[in-house]
Amino acid sequence: MASKRRHTPRPSARLLALLAATAPVAGMAQTQSTATLPTVTVNAAPEVPYKADKSANDKFTAPLVDTPKTVQIIKKEVIEEQGAITLTEALRNTPGITLQMGENGNSSAGDTFQLRGFSLQQSIFVDGIRDLGAVTRDTFNLEQVEVVKGAAGAETGRGASSGFVNLISKQAHLGDENSVSGTVGTGSVKRITADLNKQLSDSSAFRLNAMAQDSGVDGRDFVENKGQGLGLSYAAGLGTPTRVFLFSQHLRQNNVPDGGIPAIGYEGYTSVIGPKVRRENFYGSVNDREKVDADMLTAKIEHDLGSGTTIRNVTRYGKSHMDRTLTGVNTGATGITATGPQSAWTVNRSRQRVDQENSILANQTSINTAFDTGSVKHSLAAGVELLHEKQVSFDHGTAGTTPAANLYNPDPYQSIFVFGPRTGGETGGTTNTISAYVFDDARLNERWSINGGVRVDVYKLNTDNVTAAGVRTALEDSRSLVSWSVGSVYKPASNGSVYASYATSATPPGANNFQLSATAGNQANAALDPQRTNNIELGTKWELMDKRLNVAAAIFRTENDRQTSYDAATNTTSQFGKTRVQGLELSAVGQITRLWQITAGLAKTSTKSLDQFSLNTTTGVVTSTTGVRWSPDLTATLWSSYQWNQLTLGVGARYVSEAKRFVNASGAPGNVPNIPSYWVADAMLKYQVNPKTSLQLNVYNLFDEEYLMTLNNGGGRLALGAPRSATLTANFRF
């Protein structure tokens, strides 16, 4: 059990000054002790550290500059410079992604992202295979993060209405290369990582990545992030026609979760008038916990047949388990009792238990080949995929109610009920999918190419729910899904392209949570048709600065239709509802000069809901939905670094415009209506002590901006972004 401690609410001036001073002082000491050594010139950075030319996904057969789709790759060099620990932090480098908090007093578990107005819940992949489970993903074993935007059913199968995120794992390679990094920081941050690669023979190697962390959270009392991770990779046949990769990842987390703080005192909250609570206040219990076990085992075989043809087979088994107890505030219409002096005011709380197992067994067989038909040059990728996924949530008995907490001085040691053992009740579902796909990039001549793909999924979902009394409810949905994409690319010059593309995806009922419903009007009712999404995109991509800098611009329109509207008076459901998201996206990634790196992006979007309504049979009021909640109109991100001799300076900024909580005329008008816009700036200073040792100082939220990071759907509970904080990392390579 992680230790329970009250963290310093904000980084003290003394600690920040100490961190800021450490790097140059250490560098001076090292310089003095090695003054007689030859001069060391430190410029051994990769050719273009931030820029990737091609996706690691073998379905993308063309270079990124010739791919008719918005694809952003966040490389490990960017992740390391920013000191990004979680996937959430890494994804700050791409615009258009927002976070979700959850309903009422419950917080969403694990990574909960929204891209261009649509959930990414079932659209996170690891090495091209769907990754299930409520896990806060760590970056210690990542080579890069690939974000593909726009409907992507042809690439991934079900879902992917607005795109997907693909995490690329580190793999063993030839050559010995080892590094160890240790990090300390404000908020009691303590973390160590190791990346050890050993060449075993002329064609084999072994790699180990490890992580251990025991940290608090800046600006939050009692909240803790504690965990260990291990990534193992063995490769044989490197440099030969037949290659075998065996790799695994293992993650253990033992956290104290954060249920946020009440929204009283924040703009728009008028249910009870009073001052804000301390941002550090913890409204949970010292007995709250979040334990995660996640394991993944993968075997991959590749064989080159010659003439540009490679076949491969990948088999993976993954399993994760989350056991979480979280106590959160519930500030509904009567959530705060404001009687007597303010020191006696109380806030209601609710207790949530998540006991969930996820497992996946996948097998992929694919081929990549190149051939000519007359003057047309083809790059083709085809494959089949077999997938078995399972999710089970276990019920636990409760004994008592959750006591209210003092609003301004909560006591985490207050007596609170403990969940009982499993009752025998469970909610579960399994999905079995057989898929086949083919992609072709056909180059008609030096100027024109056509890119297209199609995927067929034979899909079956079984829901099997059991009550504590043993009453079983089983539902089934079986169907075939077809998704496709097509694009045309024109190259006005060898270093640029102009393109137009169209892509589709399908989301069958219950696909997001393995649960079907027999209730009329429920989107998970198996009698309904799958939701269909189509995406139109026009864009241009260029490699500038001697192909060291990638710049791109695209306009897009995504429409998701067959959404439900339910008329309770007639007990009928219609599927003519539609969500439309359209906008513009700009990006620049690479080098301005050999020593000046940049990654930047901007997304301008507008959302609209069409023909979506609900009827209140008691009042007769019809409520129409007009937009998509948590979808800011403008998001922007920038990170840039410059190397000068032994120093590297990095600066970054993020902007998120207002994100609305509700987009109709209903819903808790006395609560906070939206997340206000905000700017956040970060900075980094790295000192290369010698060719094998460096010190890196990262300062986050440089100007100590107070901003809302997430807000619950009811508008009465929120989480603030971290205040100004800092970490100091020592990196050793050998």
Instruction: Identify the CATH number of the domain in which residue 329 sits.
Output: 2.40.170.20
346-347 vs 336-337, strand pairing mode? antiparallel
Q: Determine the average pLDDT of the residues in 436-445.
A: 98
pLDDT at 94 over 70: yes
- Is the pLDDT at 24 greater than 50, yes or no? no
Q: Is 90 exceeded by the pLDDT of residue 422?
A: yes
Structure-model confidence comparison of residues 512 and 592, the more confident one: 592
pLDDT of 8 > 50? The answer is no
- Say which residues have a Cβ less than 8 Å from residue 482's Cβ, sequence separation at least 6: 454, 455, 456, 457, 506
pLDDT at 400: 82
Rg of the Cα atoms in the chain: 26
104 has a pLDDT exceeding 60: no
Tell me, what's the pLDDT at 86? 96
Can you give the pLDDT at residue 103?
58
The answer to whether residue 40 is domain-embedded is yes
What DSSP state is assigned to residue 127?
A: T
- pTM, whole model, 2 decimals? 0.91
| Span 653-665, pLDDT tens digits | 999 999 988 765 5
- Nearest CA to 130 out of 416, 364, 327 is that of 364
Would residue 701 count as lying in a domain? yes
pLDDT tens-place string over residues 177-214:
999 999 999 999 999 999 999 999 999 999 999 999 99
Please indicate whether residue 140 or residue 43 has the higher confidence score (pLDDT).
Answer: 140
The band of 563, judged by pLDDT with boundaries at 50, 70 and 90, is confident
Is the per-residue pLDDT at 534 higher than 50? yes
Give 23's pLDDT tier (boundaries 50, 70, 90): very low
Cα–Cα distance between 681 and 289 in angstroms, integer?
32
In a domain, 569, yes or no: yes
Q: What number of residues does the chain have? A: 734
**pLDDT at residue number 570:** 60
> How many domains would you assign to the chain?
1
Q: Is residue 23 one of the residues assigned to a domain?
A: yes
Asked if residue 4 belongs to a domain, the reply is no
Residue 111 pLDDT grade (very low, low, confident, very high; cuts 50, 70, 90): confident
Contact 167, 142 (CB under 8 A): yes
Per-residue pLDDT, 168: 98
pLDDT, one tens digit per residue, over 211-260 is 999 999 999 999 999 999 999 999 999 999 999 999 999 999 999 999 99
DSSP-based helix, strand, coil % in the chain, nearest 5: 5, 55, 40
User: CB of 218 within 8 A of CB of 190?
Assistant: no
Amino acid at 470: G
Element (H, E) at 16: helix 13-33
Quick check: is 529 in a domain? yes
Beta strands (DSSP E) in 27-174 are: 70-75, 97-99, 113-115, 118-119, 124-126, 129-130, 142-149, 163-169
In a domain, 5, yes or no: no
Q: In this structure, are residues 643 and 651 in contact, taking their beta carbons and an 8 Å threshold? A: no
pLDDT per residue as tens digits for the range 622-640: 566 667 888 999 999 999 9
| pLDDT above 60: residue 569 | no
Quick: pLDDT tens for 670-691.
788 899 999 999 999 999 999 9
> Residue 139 in 3-state DSSP?
coil
Q: Is residue 6 part of a domain?
A: no
Say what the pLDDT of residue 173 is: 98
Instruction: Tell me how far apart the alpha carbons of residues 88 and 60 are, in angstroms, rounded to a whole number.
Output: 25
Look at the alpha carbons of 32, 35, 41, 42 in this order and tell me if their dihedral is positive or negative. negative
Q: Worst-scoring range by mean pLDDT, 125-129, 436-440, 619-623? A: 619-623
- Over 50: is that where the pLDDT of 19 sits? no
Mean pLDDT of 337-362: 95
Q: Which CA distances in Å does 542 have to 53, 63, 348?
A: 12, 12, 55
Which residues make beta-bridge pairs with 487? 451, 501
Find the domain containing 234 and state its range.
Answer: 13-733
Selection from 18-22, 116-120, 400-404, 429-433 with the highest mean pLDDT? 429-433
The CA-atom distances, in angstroms, between 436 and each of 361, 503, 582, 733 are 17, 17, 30, 44
Instruction: Write phi, then psi, for 94 (nearest 5 degrees).
Output: -125, 135
Q: What percentage of the chain exceeds 90 in pLDDT?
A: 78
Q: Would you say residue 568 has pLDDT above 60?
A: no
The answer to whether the CB of 171 falls within 8 A of the CB of 233 is yes
Q: What pLDDT does residue 316 have?
A: 99
Sign of torsion over alpha carbons 59, 61, 66, 68: negative
Q: Which of 144-158, 593-607, 626-640 has the lowest mean pLDDT?
A: 626-640
- CA 563 to chain centroid, in Å, comes to 25
* pLDDT tens, residue by residue, 49-58: 999 999 999 9
Residues ≥6 apart with Cβ < 8 Å to 51:
75, 548, 549, 550, 589, 590, 591
- Long-range contacts at 652-658 (CB < 8 A, ≥ 24 apart): 652/82, 652/681, 652/682, 652/683, 652/684, 653/679, 653/680, 653/681, 653/682, 654/92, 654/679, 654/680, 655/679, 656/98, 656/632, 657/632, 657/633, 658/632, 658/633
